[in-house]
Amino acid sequence: MDSAPHLYSKILVPLDFSDDSRRALDHALVLAQRSGARLVLATVIEDTFPYPELFAWDHPNEEFYKAMRERAIHHMDELLAGRATGVEVARVVVKGKPRHEIAALAADVGADLIVMARHGSSGLRTAFMGSTALGLLREARCAVLVLPPAGEA
């Protein structure tokens, strides 16, 4: 299949590290390779997580989020380690409500496509809560490609 230059220039891939979001990353990598796009991998740490201090006994609240950010970056690096892609990749971790932060991040980085899984609720439970995909379809100012769960593909 011929490459499609300039089809996409920047693709945002929200990750919660579930199997479905890994499939979305694989799909986005193929699109990026074929179109010459850059990827932005993003994880959102829910900022309304109830009582995070209960789960981080030795960390104050900000230390908890710092630890979660470092953990997310580490997981992103692990995901990319086994993939020889030749694609430029940026990693971003933000705190907030996932659908709002992903839509805002897509605008901030100039993404022209968001590639995500419809149901990625395992993995880092703080990453996606509720119907993030549906919310992004409403809020995003760029194209959104939503992949069905593996069993429905």
- With 90 as the cut, is the pLDDT of residue 4 above it? no
Each residue of 92-150: pLDDT tens digit? Answer: 999 988 889 999 999 999 999 999 987 644 444 434 433 777 788 888 899 999 988 77
- pTM of the predicted model, to two decimals? 0.80
Domain range summary for the chain, segments of one domain joined by +: 10-124+146-152
Q: Is the model more confident about 76 or about 118? A: 76
Each residue of 26-46: pLDDT tens digit? Answer: 999 999 999 999 999 999 988
Q: Which ranges in the chain belong to alpha helices (H)?
A: 19-35, 61-81, 98-109, 132-139
User: Rounded CA gap, 86 and 29, in Å?
Assistant: 9
DSSP 29-64: HHHHHHHT-EEEEEEEEETT-S-GGGG-TTS-HHHH
Its CATH architecture, for the domain 10-124+146-152, is: 3-Layer(aba) Sandwich (3.40)
